[in-house]
């Protein structure tokens, strides 16, 4: 009898050693202006957690670690982000971090992660500038802002060799401004004349004055936008006020499925997207795009937006780094991330290991989507790059 | 040149709606010397009321009527609960009381609707007036604002109750001596002021997306318009609103839109420098 007890105890101790829990901390904008995007991202992260825990956890050096998530609502406010990331690290003792949604909030979180030397995978943040500060612990999943609209501009040039006048109108946020500035330089290189280059305040609801300016500038196409709320409003008012543009490409908003609620105002609008369910990447790790989409649909009843995919990808990249490192030691995980060059369902992932741009995403590329009406139904089609397209670009769009 | 006119026209139309909001604020101040800090929250409440009515199948323009009635009743309620007993106390008391009302509305609103943007998606047609594109929603909002103002004037100058409101505003004690039940009149005035604020919120909701926090910016615009027009002077407030809208519209073509607010407030300060009681003088 005693022996059985001893055996049971030994077995229990063995099982204990064989499993552990890794806690990953982050904040979510459950309220405030990033609400839609951020909750999407959360769904992606939660789906990854479920996916990996259903397989028994992350296999690291012979052990399996279950994943636990710890998160708070940051109200889309940067001062909350700073408080909460400090709290996640010092009080909640999380092992690794994922960023909040948006470049502005991530920049704040990055300061904290760097102070405490915690590895943070940044998703939903495309700003380049965060990765030019010499941070050693922050890794970017998204294609950075500097390459965000370059594909869009290539596409416009391919569709219309004669188009000259381009307006660039962007939200005065860290992210949109960085994208717009990079796009301006690239557009000039490609022979466009940028007739209007202007920001609008975050939270703008009346785009009347700006639309009047666009009309006055004689612009033939518009690229710009910012986040969801402003982008959707901008698109709606451009349509209502009949701005004579051959093509409108806006950041973020049109890539969301909610954009379809705009009805006719959505038709023809183009957006660069980090990811689309129809992409044909062949992953070397994790689920295929189709498998991810199916899982997500089963869990949330709708097609995943790229932010949800980005959330899942952030988890997957962390997981892969731990597996590669064979350890959950932060220094070893960092080393694995520096060396990483993989293709997952989200696309290629490779980080800059150069100290000057450490953590910047080098591998991932954007796709361009356009809202098109087919049989009276609005659908999102991939129109660029050509080898990935699901439909031809409709041009002029209106 | 036509582009500038288009901006000015847009500014004029939206300015009328600002004006309506400002009348609500200035009326309450004119009648009872209360600076209503719940004004912005009430505007936001107007937005959500018309939104909920719209979701229930009522067209936003028809919804304006119930919004006005609900606004009036709600205003009377605020007056009876939060303002009445402290009306004769120090001005800070009513300021804090209305601020508390504002926090209650905003807090409850955030809990119910969160701070995410809402939108009334009803079909909007575009009109071409002399070559300028104007959306029907903007035009109707401006016309509605003018109509409400006209009704308010008919009420204030042609009805006994309206005259009583003006009498109480002029001199409450004298009005009481003349047999005017001032408590009822004050409640009615607060009700009307609140109804106007909710109506302007409802009109704004037909133009732009909104959150429960959207009232703040329109409260600020109402203050500016009221002060520009002379505190306590409803006509002045309407013109104050128009001026505000015109400034927004006419400076936009020349500067980056991010600077509009700066210019707006610089002009505001300049006007006050030369017209300390506002462009149209203080109350009546």
Give tens-digit pLDDT for A28-48: 999 888 998 899 999 999 999
| C-alpha dihedral sign at A208, A209, A215, A218 | negative
Within a domain: A164: yes
Residue numbers of chain B with a pLDDT score lower than 70: 1-3, 282-284
CB contact under 8 A, B3 and A216: yes
Structural domain count, chain A: 2
Together in a domain, A250 and A109:
no
**Residues on chain A touching B248 (C-beta within 8 angstroms):** 209
Rounded distance between C-alpha atoms, residue A68 and residue A48, angstroms: 11
**Residue A9 confidence (pLDDT):** 54
- A316 CA: distance to closest CA in chain B (Å): 29
Rounded distance between C-alpha atoms, residue A98 and residue A120, angstroms: 5
**Residue A10 confidence (pLDDT):** 52
- The predicted model gives A214-218 an average pLDDT of 91
Together in a domain, A87 and A100:
yes
Rounded distance between C-alpha atoms, residue A376 and residue A7, angstroms: 69
Per-residue model confidence as pLDDT tens digits over A192-206: 999 999 999 988 888
- What ipTM goes with this model? 0.79
Together in a domain, A156 and A191:
yes
Closest Cα to residue A313, out of A337, A282, A347? A347
Together in a domain, A41 and A88:
yes
**Residue A136 confidence (pLDDT):** 94
**Residue A95 confidence (pLDDT):** 95
**Residue A199 confidence (pLDDT):** 93
Together in a domain, A178 and A58:
no
Instruction: Say whether residue B106 is in contact with chain A using an 8 A CB cutoff.
Output: no
Together in a domain, A20 and A138:
yes
Query: Which residue among B7, B126, B258 sits closest to A199, beta carbon to beta carbon?
Result: B258
Domain region containing A285 = 2-143+279-357
Together in a domain, A40 and A99:
yes
Together in a domain, A160 and A240:
yes
Half-sphere exposure of B140 (CA within 13 A, CB side): 17
Together in a domain, A330 and A251:
no
- The predicted model gives A116-141 an average pLDDT of 93
**Residue B258 confidence (pLDDT):** 81
Q: pTM for this one?
A: 0.74
**Residue in chain A nearest B249 by alpha carbon:** A209
Domains and CATH numbers, chain B: 2-120+137-274 (1.10.3470)
Together in a domain, A242 and A383:
yes
Within a domain: A311: yes
Per-residue model confidence as pLDDT tens digits over A145-203: 888 898 899 999 999 999 999 999 999 988 899 899 999 999 999 999 999 999 999 88
Phi, psi of B88 (to 5 degrees): -95, 5
- The predicted model gives A236-247 an average pLDDT of 90
Together in a domain, A36 and A172:
no
Within a domain: A395: no
* pLDDT score of A16 more than 60: no
Rounded distance between C-alpha atoms, residue A225 and residue A234, angstroms: 8
**Residues on chain B touching A233 (C-beta within 8 angstroms):** 119, 208-209
Together in a domain, A199 and A269:
yes
Closest Cα to residue A391, out of A379, B273, B182, A199? A379
Supply the mean pLDDT for chain A.
90
**Residue B9 confidence (pLDDT):** 87
**Residue A83 confidence (pLDDT):** 95
Residue A157 belongs to domain with CATH number: 3.40.50.2300
Instruction: Say whether residue B1 is in contact with chain A using an 8 A CB cutoff.
Output: no
Query: CB-based contacts of A73: which residues, under 8 Å, 6+ apart?
Result: A27, A28, A29, A30, A31, A80
Q: With beta carbons less than 8 A apart as the criterion, state whether A121 and A98 touch.
A: yes
């Amino acid at each position: 009898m005693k022996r059985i007890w001893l055996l049971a105890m030994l077995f229990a101790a063995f099982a204990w050693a064989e499993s552990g829990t890794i806690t990953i901390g982050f904040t979510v904008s459950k309220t405030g202006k990033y609400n839609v995007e951020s909750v999407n991202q959360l769904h992606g992260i939660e789906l990854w957690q479920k996916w990996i825990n259903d397989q028994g956890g992350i296999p690291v050096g012979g052990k399996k670690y279950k994943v636990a998530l710890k998160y708070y609502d940051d109200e889309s406010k940067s001062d909350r982000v700073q408080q909460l990331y400090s709290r996640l690290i010092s009080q909640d003792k999380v092992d690794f971090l994922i960023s909040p949604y948006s470049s502005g909030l991530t920049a704040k979180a990055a300061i904290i992660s760097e102070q405490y030397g915690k590895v943070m995978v940044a998703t939903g943040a495309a700003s380049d500038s965060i990765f030019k500060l010499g941070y050693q612990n922050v890794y970017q999943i998204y294609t950075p802002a500097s390459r965000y609209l370059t594909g869009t501009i290539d596409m416009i040039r391919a569709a219309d060799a004669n188009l000259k006048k381009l307006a660039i109108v962007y939200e005065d946020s860290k992210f949109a401004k960085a994208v717009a500035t990079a796009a301006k330089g690239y557009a000039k290189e490609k022979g466009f004349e940028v007739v209007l280059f202007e920001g609008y305040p975050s939270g703008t609801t009346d785009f009347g004055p700006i639309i009047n300016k666009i009309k006055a500038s004689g612009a033939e196409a518009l690229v710009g936008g910012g986040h969801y709320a402003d982008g959707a409003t901008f698109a709606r008012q451009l349509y209502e006020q009949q701005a004579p543009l051959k093509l409108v490409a806006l950041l973020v908003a049109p890539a969301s499925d909610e954009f379809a609620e705009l009805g006719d105002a959505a038709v023809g609008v183009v957006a660069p997207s980090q990811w689309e369910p129809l992409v044909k990447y062949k992953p070397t790790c994790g689920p295929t795009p189709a498998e991810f989409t199916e899982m997500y649909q089963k869990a949330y009843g709708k097609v995943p937006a790229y932010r949800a995919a980005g959330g899942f990808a952030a988890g997957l990249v962390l997981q892969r780094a731990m597996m590669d490192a064979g350890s959950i030691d932060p220094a070893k995980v960092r080393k694995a991330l520096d060396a990483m060059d993989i293709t997952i369902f989200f696309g290629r992932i490779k980080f800059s290991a150069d100290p000057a741009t450490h953590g910047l995403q080098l591998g991932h590329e954007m796709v361009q989507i356009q809202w098109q009406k087919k049989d009276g139904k609005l659908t999102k089609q991939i129109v660029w790059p050509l080898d990935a397209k699901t439909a031809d670009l409709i041009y002029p769009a209106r | 040149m036509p582009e500038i006119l288009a901006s000015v026209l847009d500014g004029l139309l939206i300015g009328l709606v600002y004006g309506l909001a400002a009348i609500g604020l200035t009326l309450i101040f004119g009648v009872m010397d209360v600076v209503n800090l719940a004004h912005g929250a009430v505007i936001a409440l107007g937005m959500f009321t018309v939104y909920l009515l719209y979701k229930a199948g009522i067209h936003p323009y028809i919804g304006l009527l119930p919004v006005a009635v609900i606004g009036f009743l709600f205003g009377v309620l605020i007056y009876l609960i939060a303002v009445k007993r402290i009306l004769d106390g120090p001005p800070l008391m009513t300021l804090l009381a209305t601020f508390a009302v504002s926090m209650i509305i905003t807090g409850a609103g955030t809990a119910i609707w969160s701070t995410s943007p809402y939108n009334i998606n009803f079909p909007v047609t575009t009109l071409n007036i002399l070559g300028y594109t104007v959306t029907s929603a903007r035009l109707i909002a401006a016309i509605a604002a003018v109509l409400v103002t006209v009704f308010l004037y008919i009420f204030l100058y042609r009805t006994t109750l309206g005259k009583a409101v003006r009498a109480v505003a002029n001199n409450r004690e004298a009005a009481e001596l003349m047999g005017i039940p001032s408590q009822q009149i004050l409640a009615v005035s607060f009700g009307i002021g609140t109804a106007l604020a909710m109506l302007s919120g409802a009109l704004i909701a037909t133009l732009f997306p909104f959150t429960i926090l959207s009232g703040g910016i329109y409260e600020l615009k109402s203050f500016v318009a009221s002060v520009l027009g002379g505190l306590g002077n409803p006509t002045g407030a309407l013109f104050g609103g128009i001026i505000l809208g015109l400034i927004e519209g006419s400076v936009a073509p020349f500067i980056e839109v991010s600077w509009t607010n700066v210019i707006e407030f610089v002009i505001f300060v300049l006007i006050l420098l030369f017209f300390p009681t506002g462009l149209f003088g203080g109350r009546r």
